């Protein structure tokens, strides 16, 4: 899951500048995505996810981790893009609910990246998904993700990268 987990913290670290929605509003006169979703965060975040995935592919060829899924260029790309597209789609619906940037939205805030990553895998590489990710692994991901999410956001808040600890 590293290629899906890394893009969010990297976007928080490196994001900023032009918002993806270019400051535009939706028909409800609220922002399409908001200032928390920027082009730089999206692009640098995805690149970081793909890069860590390439390191995984290299490492699994050099050492042997028999129990781990064998990543491919496609799988790591889908995991990385899916994580931040999931985050972006989440923000679209968050704005429609009238929640401001950075507002808390339990469950959605924690699972957006998992939903995005797995949906892209399901559509564009189902053979990889079903051959590499067991049900047990998927359940582990569902348990670990909100815990990691919370921990990383608290750290981000303490080091002043994030404005809120969620």
Number of residues in the chain: 166
The C-alpha atoms of residue 22 and residue 142 are separated, in whole angstroms, by 33
Residue in 102, 144, 147, 158 binding ligand CTP, rule: CB under 6 A: 102
> Is the C-alpha dihedral spanning 144, 74, 48, 96 positive or negative?
negative
Residue 46 is a binding residue for ligand CTP (CB under 6 A): no
- Residue 39 token pair: 């082009």
To ligand CTP, the closest distance from the beta carbon of 128 in angstroms equals: 25
Segment lying near ligand CTP (by CB under 6 A), choices 53-61, 86-94, 123-131, 140-148: 86-94
Our CB check for ligand CTP shows the closer of 56 and 94 to be 94
Residue with tokens 């913290």: 9
For the record, the structure tokens of 144 come out as: 């670990």
Q: Is 83 in the site for ligand CTP (CB under 6 A)?
A: no
Count other Cβ atoms within 10 Å, centred on residue 12.
18
Scan residues 16-45 and list those touching ligand CTP (CB under 6 A): 16, 34, 36-38, 41-42
Report d(CA 101, CA 36) in Å as an integer.
Answer: 6
Q: Which chain residues interact with ligand CTP by CB under 6 A? A: 11-12, 15-16, 34, 36-38, 41-42, 84, 87, 91, 94, 101-103, 162
């Amino acid at each position: 899951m590293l290629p899906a987990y890394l893009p969010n913290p990297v976007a928080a670290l490196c994001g900023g500048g032009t918002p993806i929605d270019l400051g535009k509003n939706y028909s409800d006169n609220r922002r399409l995505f908001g200032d928390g979703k920027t082009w730089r965060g999206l692009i640098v975040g995805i690149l970081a996810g793909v890069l860590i995935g390439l390191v995984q592919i290299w490492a699994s060829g050099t050492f042997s981790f028999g129990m781990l899924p064998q990543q491919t260029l496609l799988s790591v790309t889908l995991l990385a893009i899916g994580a931040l597209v999931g985050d972006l789609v989440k923000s679209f619906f968050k704005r429609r609910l009238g929640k401001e940037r950075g507002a808390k939205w339990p469950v959605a805030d924690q699972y957006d990246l998992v939903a995005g990553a797995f949906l892209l895998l399901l559509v564009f590489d189902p053979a990889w998904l079903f051959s590499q990710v067991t049900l047990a692994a998927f359940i582990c991901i569902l348990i670990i993700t909100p815990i990691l999410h919370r921990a990383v956001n608290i750290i981000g808040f303490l080091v002043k990268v994030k404005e809120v600890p969620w």
